A and B are shown apart, each in its own frame.
Chain A
């Protein structure tokens, strides 16, 4: 009977922090093991010149090599000679980490409010286009240079950077926020299931943006479906000396911003009235209403915030990675679901999970170049991880079978940490 009261969010929040980390790691390991078996078996069906001969079949793929490429390739092969910290692969990994922090936070915020926002992908697509278009048009009106009193001349680049980047990020956040508010309002005021509407809105986002592109924003100098490039000074600047080079499409400043946002969201959850109301709504809507929370407004507000975070992800994808919006947007939003689920929807956990999936994305490229295994493997791993994180009971059963101490856990540890974890009572 009690189960009926439990929302999804509560189920995931029920486990203690340690419990959750153990389950996430176990899910990761299990997914990797199953993925390895899959790789090995599918090797029997591939054609190759050399491979492991066994029982009359040739197994083309070596899972160890695949995972070597996946995990170490993503860092630029640190065990091989000539490795430098600021290598291209690691830059790609961190670039993806940065973007996945945004989309992971987006999913996590909605999740903690009891809403499954599958629409981060669409919010990111729409936000990205808004960013690109805004910056391209705004850069036309930023003056070439400004002469301040005392004869100081500020070159357009600096002005552009200082004005255009915040403007672009804001545009992305606004567009993503509006696009996220739509399913929120549909849920709040028309009871439309947000899982279905957001999935539909993802597909619709592709249609709308592509239509807008061909109608107005297509780069006239290109046959690829893409917008005109933003000026170079409007791309996220890299740090001189300590950072990665400009051609690696990664900026430590962007990562720093993402981490700051992450901490900010954690603070919002733990310390503010809004965060308290959001979490209460997610765990027990009935109690939230009793406590004076306007459920409908909270639904729209949390979906808007979630969409805005997705839109910021789109903005950074445009301003840091390509310098323009391309029709073929990578599945950052879907990966955000995996990031958030793996992180147990904890904002700080999102950072770690985003790094893992950053490795997956970047390592996927290494797999593609160094082996014959299809890079779609990464997608399968992602699905498997979500699957295993969704079934904590599986690992608890395993745990109970092999670790007898665990079975006699007193009832209270089960939920007693929910508050502590959220920082609700952590004053230190």
Chain B
């Protein structure tokens, strides 16, 4: 995606290299809504924020840019009163403040929209918006519901939102939930809104809608702090960008006078190459094929509706889509964690629809699950014990019901070495490893099963750049060796660069199956929002037929 390097990296310090390409913004003398001055926040063993300065001008969108773990969220939690800084001052509206709890921050006019929405799912939109701030009547004996409804209607009118106050939160779309979060902050009289990775769960079109909302808000004098790790968003939406790296602020820049590559280097601290190679490869027989698979979720709602797909040996089939459109349930049906309500699943020539999960594992199906901490690893077990998960009854590690622990230990140590899991300690509990190292261990365990099919869901979510590259390389290597790969990801760049064919899933159906190079990111975004490609609306999409 991005042009490598812009040719400025000469091996000297990363900050030195970028100094010339960006224009640092001077906001010292402006009207500041928020001023964080020399904030330091330490956790046991980590300095999350080290002497960070942040100056946010009133009525602007200010982006806080940095990689995962750069300390962006910690800094904002300090501003929101969830953490108390070890050093430094918090100045709001020119007045120094100490926030002991979010309540104090709310009272000072600060609102936060967290990455994971802080909404109570079974309660209504109105109940959520008013939560903690309910106006009462009858001397506090009852919640004044009419007044809440009235105030919400006023807010919606002023900012042009369309939200049904009586809808239950779990029934409305993610985009609407985000509006509810924003309304919640406005209901409390927030003048400064902090948005933590607000686009992570949105389709490209919903992202556009969010930009409009932000503009409307700043027009009316609100101040926005926008946390993101995506360069495009920061340059597109923000009036000023402050970059954080490893807990240190590496400067504030004007997006209009800064080129993206330089910004990327400033953020990552080195040259960035995001492109993974995927030359076309000879494909072999069909390894996995599903016909008319329909799956219901835990609540009995049909979330996968008649999916047909084929994956051949030596190809990667990618499934793109906004989270929650049935990808998780489809994958669970394929891997044996959920029973499909209709349809058949064939694997290497056998109808495996009724097979147990264990039988699928034994027949060479490897699976990198979406949730590594709940499924992929047993967190209190050490890596030795985790190394045998899924193979605990296979002839390789067990005989006569007994597990050969010496053999398992050797196996785990082999994975640790080959996949560069750090620290290389097989007797450490899985939970003591970082997310990237946990993922490398899972990938290693699954890839070393000698699989004929690899199912990988969000294999690089929350994983650092180095481990991401490594996992991508291994996936491509397996594909060259003739393994069939089914890849689910909501990262567009990842899925476009790795996949040989790309299916887009929307509300339980495939909208389109295509060559990833034949569509633009915008087209892909439209499909993820449910729009079928022109002229093909009638065709029943089937990746098995599309070649």
Contact = CB atoms under 8 A, between A and B. Distances in A.
Nearest to A281: B378
B380 A10 contact: yes
A274 interface: yes
Residue among A2, A293, A411, A419 with the highest chain B CB neighbour number at 10 A: A419
A284 B379 contact: yes
Nearest to A423: B405
A291 interface: yes
Contacts of B384: 419, 424-425
A137 to B, nearest CB: 35
A271 B381 contact: no
Given A292-B393, A425-B405, A425-B409, A415 B380 contact: yes
A316 B361 CA distance: 43
A274 B401 contact: yes
Interface in A278-324: 280, 283-284, 286-287, 289-294
B326 interface: no
A52 interface: no
Interface stretch (B1-9, B203-211, B367-375): B367-375
Interface centre among A14, A412, A424 (most CB of B within 10 A): A424
A290 B382 contact: no
A273 B388 CA distance: 10
Contacts of B361: 291-292
Given A271-B405, A424-B385, A419 B427 contact: yes
Contacts of A419: 380-382, 384-385, 427, 429
A142 interface: no
B435 to A, nearest CB: 12
Interface in B421-463: 426-429, 431-432
B431 to A, nearest CB: 5
A412 B432 contact: yes
Contacts of A2: 373
Nearest to B374: A286
A418 B386 CA distance: 12
- How many chain A residues sit at the interface, stated as a range, is 35 or more
Contacts of B390: 290-292
A276 interface: yes
B358 interface: yes
B389 A272 contact: no
B382 A424 contact: yes
A289 B337 CA distance: 7
B382 A425 contact: yes
A246 B393 CA distance: 47
Most chain B beta-carbon contacts within 10 A, residue among A273, A412, A422: A273
B380 A286 contact: no
Interface string B336-360: 0100000000000000000011101
A417 B427 CA distance: 8
Contacts of A426: 405
A416 B357 contact: no
Contacts, number: 123
B220 to A, nearest CB: 34
Nearest to A420: B427
Contacts of B378: 280, 283-284, 287
B377 interface: yes
Given A287-B376, A292-B356, A424-B384, A273 B398 contact: yes
A5 interface: yes
A376 interface: no
B141 interface: no
A277 interface: yes
B403 interface: yes
A415 B337 contact: no
B44 interface: yes
A273 B401 contact: yes
B392 interface: yes
A13 interface: yes
Contacts of A280: 378, 381, 389
A427 interface: yes
A411 B45 contact: yes
A223 B378 CA distance: 56
B406 interface: yes
A411 B405 contact: no
Given A5-B373, A292-B361, A427 B393 contact: no
A419 B45 CA distance: 24
Interface string A386-428: 0000000000000000000000000110111111101011110
Nearest to B399: A273
Contacts of A272: 401-403
Contacts of B45: 411
Nearest to B356: A294
A400 to B, nearest CB: 13
B379 A276 contact: no
A276 B371 contact: no
Contacts of A277: 392
Contacts of B393: 273, 292
Contact of B381 (A289, A293, A424): A424
A280 B388 CA distance: 11
A218 B360 CA distance: 55
A291 B402 CA distance: 17
A283 B381 contact: yes
Given A290-B375, A292-B361, A412-B428, A420 B389 contact: no
Contacts of A411: 44-45, 432
Contact of B403 (A10, A276, A290, A292): A276
Contacts of A274: 401
Interface string A1-42: 010010000100110000000000000000000000000000
Interface string B130-161: 00000000000000000000000000000000
B358 A271 contact: no
Given A284-B379, A424-B384, A412 B429 contact: yes
Nearest to B380: A418
Nearest to B409: A425
A424 B431 contact: no
A418 B382 contact: yes
Given A273-B392, A290-B389, A283 B405 contact: no
Interface string B61-83: 00000000000000000000000
B367 A276 contact: no
B358 A292 contact: yes
B380 A283 contact: yes
B374 A425 contact: no
B378 to A, nearest CB: 5
Contacts of B376: 287, 290
A290 B428 CA distance: 21
A283 B426 CA distance: 19
Contact of A416 (B374, B403, B429): B429
B428 to A, nearest CB: 5
Contacts of B409: 425, 427
Nearest to B335: A290
A418 B381 contact: yes
11 contacts: A5-B379, A272-B403, A280-B389, A286-B374, A287-B374, A411-B45, A414-B429, A415-B379, A415-B429, A416-B382, A427-B406
Given A292-B357, A424-B382, 20 more contacts: A10-B379, A276-B392, A280-B378, A280-B381, A283-B378, A284-B378, A286-B371, A289-B337, A292-B356, A292-B361, A292-B362, A414-B429, A414-B432, A415-B380, A416-B382, A420-B427, A425-B384, A425-B405, A427-B405, A427-B406
Interface of A: 2, 5, 10, 13-14, 271-274, 276-277, 280, 283-284, 286-287, 289-294, 411-412, 414-420, 422, 424-427
Interface of B: 44-45, 337, 356-358, 360-362, 367, 369, 371, 373-382, 384-385, 388-390, 392-393, 398, 401-403, 405-406, 409, 426-429, 431-432
Give me the 5 closest cross-chain CB pairs, A-B, nearest first: A292-B358, A415-B429, A419-B382, A418-B380, A412-B432
